[in-house]
Amino acid sequence: MKVIIAKNYNEMSKMAANFIAKEIKEKENITLGLATGSTPEGTYKELIKKNLDWSLVKVFNLDEYIGINGEHEASYRFFMNQKLFNHININKNNTFIPSGIADPKIEGPAYEKSIEKSGSIDVQLLGIGGNAHIGFNEPFSEEYSTTQEVKLVESTINANARMFKNKEDVPKTAISMGIATIMKAKKILLIASGTKKAQAILNTIEGKITGNVPASYLQKHQDVTLIIDEEAAKLLKK
């Protein structure tokens, strides 16, 4: 794993945007895997400023809440439209996010098929949960999991409650790419910022590979870069 330490959130965002921009310039019809959450917001802002040509780019997002549709302000479809897609020249038909209102038993395999049809994901951007979840793959996720319905743990529900009017409104389940789906990407870029991610980052990079720390599976991937800020890196020993 290649670890790059940025001074702070802004520098992390700029570095991550540069990383992705370089990939888009090298391959105009690239397939990106993208993520939601507060962490990538700065990266998307920086990417928008770059005025890149997104006309041939395809995007597959990691996950979506179950039970809400894309018009819901807390949905990940709404987030992606607001934070990125509405500001770039991407063809919205080339943006894929698992549906939160379809039957996940059908939607999961269908999502896998559409990723396969596009070839594969060239670059997958990831954030990380405080408990080291990636996508919505919570601790004890199966290494060989594919896109499927997943249960959210209490700490994730609490962390994401800020996006909803009431904590009770936060869905208890989501549909998420699995660990195996993520591992199939050719390149992975994980970004993290702040002390609340420091333990998860330590376990991901220096801990043992275990389902208890879903992001630790990334140690097995050939091409992973982590761009993290000093606060998120503060527990690293090596």
Strand partners, 124: 33, 188
To the query of whether residue 53 is one of the catalytic residues in this protein, the response is no
To the query of whether residue 63 is one of the catalytic residues in this protein, the response is yes
Are 44 and 12 a contacting pair, CB within 8 Å? no
Residue 42 binds to ligand GLP (criterion: CB under 6 A): no
Residue 20 binds to ligand GLP (criterion: CB under 6 A): no
Nearer to ligand GLP, 90 or 190 (CB): 190
Helices (H), 140-214: 154-160, 179-183, 198-206
Residue 177: which region, alpha, beta or left (left: phi > 0; alpha: psi -120 to 50)?
beta
Residue 38 binds to ligand GLP (criterion: CB under 6 A): yes
Residue 170 binds to ligand GLP (criterion: CB under 6 A): no
Catalytic residue among 112, 138, 229, 231: 138
Catalytic residue among 46, 64, 107, 131: 131
To the query of whether residue 138 is one of the catalytic residues in this protein, the response is yes
Residue 178 binds to ligand GLP (criterion: CB under 6 A): no
> Which H helix or E strand runs over 189?
strand 187-192
Which residue in the set 35, 115, 177, 182 belongs to the binding site for ligand GLP (CB under 6 A)? 35
Stretch 103-162 residues interacting with ligand GLP (CB under 6 A):
127-129, 135-136, 156, 160
Q: For residue 28, what are the CA distances in angstroms to 46, 96, 116?
A: 18, 18, 19
Nearest to 206 by CA among 182, 188, 228: 228
Question: Per-residue x/- mask for ligand GLP, residues 46 to 85, rule CB under 6 A?
Answer: ----------------xx----------------------
Nearer to ligand GLP, 55 or 82 (CB): 82
Contact region with ligand GLP (CB under 6 A), list: 35-43, 52-60, 66-74, 224-232: 35-43
Q: Is the dihedral of CA 208, 210, 216, 218 positive or negative?
A: positive
Q: How many CA atoms lie within 13 A of 217 on its CB side?
A: 26
Contact positions toward ligand GLP, by CB under 6 A? 35-39, 62-63, 127-129, 135-136, 156, 160
